[in-house]
Structure 1
Amino acid sequence: MSIASLFEVSGKVALVTGGSSGIGEMIATTLARAGVTVFIAARKPDRLAEALARIAAHGTVEAIPADLADPNGADRLAGELGERTGQLDILVNNAGATWGAPFGEFPASGWDRVMDLNARATFLLSQSLMPLLAKSADEDDWSSVINVSSVASRYTDDTPSAAYGPSKAAVEQLTRVMARWLPKHRIRVNCIAPGWFPSRMNAPIGDDYRAAWLDRTPLKRFGRAEDIGALAIYLASRASSFVNGQVIAIDGGWSA
């Protein structure tokens, strides 16, 4: 077996949630460039269409509008995906949200919104797509679920969100739970915990906070598309066939 073949993912099929911007689009674009047929899902059709056009310049991609914050959103997305393809080798649970407010004023609606999309939807979609992932796996090349967490799951700062970090901590523990249950179906489950990557979510954050983050980062830069894309390729390929239940920080050493 050649080294290149260990990282080969061409011919696979992937679903990337939250694929219309930021980290989701970065991962989707990299997978498409590597020969993966990529389905991207997101809530806003206009942004989804814009991302579809950008990613299509690099490979094969289709878009499915989906609101995973809706209690029935995961089942609807899984159903539509099943109508479009009979194969799913890679599931990237990336869709997420945050909510900013001082702790004493943080609304229950904000808590529910963040927890429902970041944690509950990850569970429900993985559950709904488990049969398709299992069907696509074979003995030598299992299917792969990649959950997206955040370094905020383990570290606190002055960002005013009481829910975001706890929701991502839940994603990391869910990853470990899934990694115990899903291998019997030939499905591996791992988690990426990014630091600062340019995205619509962190765009409103001020220059002072941005500079402080950069100062704390030993590599003295923010994340790039190729950084997180390469990690996704690794976790989706046979190169990581003995990696399961792990949370991998990708933050330039910020959390070291």
Structure 2
Amino acid sequence: MIAAAYVQNGAKVYIASRKEQQLKEASSRRVGQSKAGCEALANTIKERESKVHILVNNSGASWGAPFEDFPEQGWDKIIALNVKSIFYMTAALTPLLAKDATGFDPGRVINISSVAGFLTTAHGSRLASGNNGLWSYGTSKAAVNHLTILLATTLAPKFITVNAILPGVFPSKMTAFALKQLGEDGLAQGNPFGQP
């Protein structure tokens, strides 16, 4: 949705994803969640562009498992994708974001976080499924919120703004379990606007 809105408004858009099929549908290229993957994508962009106006970091995955059995991979994968990739992508593109940026027309970084960064995602919560808690997901989104503050203060002297958007639950592949379990009315009860 974000990329489509930028394209419809005349922007040149580069999309990176872990999901190759979605990339094929969006006609773009694939990147990993590592520092090397982020730097490789940034280098490809640097070969084609002299500057970047807006970077939207919209990576996210979740992992649900019981507290006693939560696997180490559930931490490693989620922290790498949801937090590290934001840091490394932003760092790699900072020179292009800063180029020609001014106080009146800054470079912009928008990190997509989640209300899960300050709400519970433990088992039994509205955001978790059954006895499974989203232990690493909520923690990773809290880290994104703090990383956004750190990046904002670090990049402000370069005329780059850094902000986060914290959406609530909305219909998606990642929240399909909650919609199935609670239904739209059940999700709406936890939302001040009265809709998921």
**What is the TM-score of this pair, normalised by structure 2?**
0.88
Residue in 1 that maps onto 2:23: 48
1:216 to 183, 190, 193: 190
Does the aligned pair in 2 maintain the 1:89–1:136 contact within 8 Å? no
2:67 to 81, 85, 103: 103
Q: Which has the higher strand share?
A: 1
Matches of 2:73 and 2:161, distance apart in 1 = 33
Task: Tell me, yes or no, if structure 1 residue 167 matches structure 2 residue 131.
Answer: no
Amino acid at match of 1:171: V
- Distance apart, 1:71 and its partner CA: 4.0
Residue in 2 that maps onto 1:125: 89
Say which SS state the counterpart of residue 94 (structure 2) adopts: helix
Does the aligned pair in 1 maintain the 2:58–2:111 contact within 8 Å? yes
Amino acid at match of 1:91: L
Identical-residue share of aligned pairs (%): 41
Amino acid at match of 1:107: P
Query: Cα RMSD between the aligned structures?
Result: 1.5
Amino acid at match of 1:44: K
Matches of 1:71 and 1:141, distance apart in 2 = 28
- Distance apart, 1:90 and its partner CA: 0.3
**What is the TM-score of this pair, normalised by structure 1?**
0.69
Paired residues, what number?
A: 186
Amino acid at match of 2:145: E
Amino acid at match of 2:18: R
Matches of 1:132 and 1:87, distance apart in 2 = 4
Amino acid at match of 2:21: D
Task: Tell me, yes or no, if structure 1 residue 38 matches structure 2 residue 3.
Answer: no
- Distance apart, 1:30 and its partner CA: 1.2
Structure 2: unaligned runs, 5 residues or longer: none
Structure 1: unaligned runs, 5 residues or longer: 1-25, 53-62, 223-256
Which protein, 1 or 2, shows the higher relative CO under an 8 Å CA cutoff with sep ≥ 6?
1
